[in-house]
Amino acid sequence: MQKRKLGNSHLEVSALGFGCMGLSSGYGPATERSQAIALIRAAVEQGVTFFDTAEIYGPWTNEDLVGAALAPFRAQVKIATKFGFKVGPNGERLEGLDSRPAHIKEVADASLKRLGTDVIDLFYQHRVDADVPIEDVAGAVKELIQAGKVKHFGLSEAGAKTIRRAHAVQPVTALQSEYSLFWREPETEIIPLLGELGIGFVPFSPLGKGFLTGKIDANTKFDAADFRNVVPRFTPEARKANQAVVDLLSTIAPRVKATPAQVALAWLLAQKPWIVPIPGTTKLHRLTENNGGASLELTAADLRDIHIASDQMKLTGERYPAHLQKLIGR
């Protein structure tokens, strides 16, 4: 798989990364540990060198899983993890955020132990904490970088003003936010800003939380533990209304001898050379399919057709329930 650099940094990773969250939480029951380890190692074998996790995934269990799976390959891969949500003493999710500098440093030490590594390649603030100045957050990560515990600083779902303020204290290597044909809002302000500042972009949910694969429709039933059950964009009515974007991909796919998912990923990669999507999956055949999108080159005509059609679509439903929506774009 081809490599890309995230912005002006020296952080070079595979063109597609692997989002590990779904192996432990979010989309239903956790994947059996040995199967999850095998899948992560299969990703390495297929050329993936960039793996994404977070303290809150599980909580804690995903970092432990990723660390164990990547231990034999640690020198050839990059691991990104995140801080900022509150976690109880027994690993239970708590309400609210916590990006106090002292807490950031505690999380870094705990993540290093769970990951079984000496350094975190990319350490993101998971969501902007309105109670802690972003300068303090950036300063704390800067100290972790100076201490050799972290190599690069990242933000997730941050707004333009926050990105600028953080970048002035400690250069931001990457922003991780949702971006796909299912959610193009970053094109308005965020992507131009990242280009200006030399910051890489790591789109999560690059397949629209599975919707752009074409395998989900208005009749699909999700597992009781699947968070899409509470996402407004995934109500049966919204899925039916949003089918047009899947129909678009399904029209392009046969023309380029690919699947809708591969077209969606290739479209993202074609937007900027410093964009590195991180699709996730729990299935080997989906992993292989997704990685095939990295070698698909869409023509200028293909990209034009996709843009013209996509520009005419008005998608239905917010991408988060209200209590999470308010954490976006601070």
Query: 24, 65 in Cβ contact below 8 A?
Result: yes
Distance CA 247, CA 220 (A): 17
Nearest to 96 by CA among 60, 61, 129, 53: 129
Query: 262, 253 in Cβ contact below 8 A?
Result: yes
∠ CA 69-114-75, nearest 5°, is: 50
Residue 70: CA atoms inside 13 Å, Cβ hemisphere, count? Answer: 29
Query: 134, 128 in Cβ contact below 8 A?
Result: yes
Give the DSSP H or E segment for 39: helix 33-45
Query: 86, 96 in Cβ contact below 8 A?
Result: yes
57 is catalytic: yes
Output phi, psi for 299, to 5 deg: -75, 170
Catalytic, out of 57, 124, 179, 320: 57
Assign 62 to helix, strand or coil.
helix
Q: Provide the annotated active-site residues.
A: 57
